[in-house]
Amino acid sequence: MKQYNKRIDDLELNTCNKNLLSSGKQERMEICQWFAKTTRKMVIAYWSIPTDEGVDLKFVGSRPFNVDKKIFWKLAKIGQKKMEKESKKLYE
C-alpha cells in the first residue's frame, strides 16, 4: 500500500504497518487524534489487515472519543474506500 496521510484539524488518517507504526511495510490505516499544542497523538481507530473477507474498522479500547464526528466519519469513509481497494487487489 502506498503511504498516505490526511489531517483535518486534530484528526489524522494515515497508513501504518501491522503494529500501527509508520515504518516498514504499510499494510493498514489508522485514525489518530493529536493532542493540542504537542507533538503527541493517540490512535483511536484502525483497520484490520486486509483478508479475503475484506477489512474492519476497529476502535481502540475505551479511549476517549471526544472528536468532531463529521470529520471523523469523513476520514473513516476515505480510509474504508482505500482499504477495500487494497483488499480487492490482494484477493482478486
Percent of the chain as helix, strand, coil, to the nearest 5: 25, 30, 45
Domain extent for 32: 5-91
C-beta separation of 21 from 54 below 8 A: no
Counts for the chain of helices (H) and strands (E), in that order: 1, 5
For the chain, what is the domain count?
1
pLDDT digits (tens, 9 = 90+) for 12-66: 999 988 887 877 888 899 999 999 888 899 999 999 888 888 889 999 987 767 8
Q: Which residue's C-alpha cell is 501504518?
A: 16
pTM, two decimals, is 0.87
